[in-house]
Structure 1
């Protein structure tokens, strides 16, 4: 199903989103619609731009606990769940957890799985199960494979020998599942170490019919725990110019349905002029980050708001003190944020910005 067909099918949801983002949100907190779900903090990669793999081991809530938690009003309106980590496929009960989500979330329309694709057999097994489950319920299932360079460069970015070959093997098998409705793409995190290879990666993916989502590396104490790597991975002045050129190239080749072009234009403005981010974000309005331990955050820059295994999720989400914290994040952190989670949904719901972008031409 192409982008236009998906947009038409979801038109009622998008129209409601436009109303909620531009009108209803002025009168109180919106129901949670998008859920970023780190299902585990375990990871079998050693990425240079992320220290999640160094996180202390922590207890993950059981399926039985999640079954009770998902009865909370917080989850009644959840339409999109992004399964991430760590490496989500390391969670042995991921298929069963996904079954629980599908059964307990009445509004669920979209599932996303982000994977480093290092363990081909395991990834394919999990994806096949989730695809069968989602297809039976009319749920869109998207898999985003992390790939930060071609050949040895990717191995170096992930600090895993043979990582690139494993990713290629996994991608080849995932592409076979596309005929059964799987949506597939590549995520590339750009840093000073791999920026030079971005055009080559883009061409490599295009030859295989794979869209690439280019992400500017983010640094946070509370999620990635990678602030100490910022100096090493940040772009030098010459690299900033190289990055600007690459972003403008991406925008120049955009199509009308390429919502990412808006974001790339926005990032270029942020880098070149120090402008504040204008790209909408679901976490400002109706997104949550709820992890495997039950810790609830508004986003990855949010403090812990509470734990849903101890208190009601809706009560935590709507607590006045927590909502004030979200406004503080919006004022202080959002202007410089380059995170792209649920980007297309945010732009679709706040479509007026995107329409103005199209009418205004390339910037």
Structure 2
């Protein structure tokens, strides 16, 4: 990034063709920004999706850039997704995609075009803190739509250039009305699917098609007694009750998976609750360039923590643990903390960091 580019009014916007990114473009234009829409083709063959995004750019009267990123996406996101399930984890691919693919490529394209700002249709906010000289991501005003959880691994070099035009919008209905008023064709388009690269079937079908097959093993209880046979750990996730393929005369839940022994541990609902949860491979906003680690000033502080995207923030204290992990001690027990998912920390509404949940 050059000196002449700093703080100009040019912005590269991730344009999916959906209503959120379209509304973000409209809001940026109203504020006088020169917007370029950037579409990522994660599979290299998303013809209809590309056409929808290109049509939106045409109606918005902004330049449109198309990027085929299938190779980088496969190497960084799809491989991670498949291997996580093979290890008995439950991954969230957006958490990995955002720093390694999406925002990284947006930054590269912005630098190429001489644009300072980066923008998306995420529901989140940005604030600058003078004491730390850092920009922080904050939760959106719309609590139900807040997506800050997905962004905790972004480095400061990205965050300081970000604009989230939808951060203070209180409802999705207002967004649709706003786009409709501007006569853009996608005002009533459905929200995007949860996993953008799985077009048909479920994640198990997807894994099987890519050669990740479940290997039969034992269901066991907490004491190690064999309860039956499972069809492969890739088919299960922590907290699962239905679809086990075996009946036990009472509700039984997946409470743990052991990749090395190829065992799925079953228990009762109460066994899913715990007060102490660990996280590895942690990232914090005040660290340089998103490097791994745990800042000394956060050791022992009180935070609000989320153990999954849809969970409510809960009071906890976080500590540095051995092997570079974080230990979070919650005031109230949390249900079904799942290895592979992220545990994310807030000071008030400010996102400060997080890491991947792991068994001790």
What is the TM-score of this pair, normalised by structure 1?
0.25
Return the index of the structure with the highest Cα Rg.
2
Higher helix residue share: 1
What is the TM-score of this pair, normalised by structure 2?
0.25
Higher strand residue share: 2
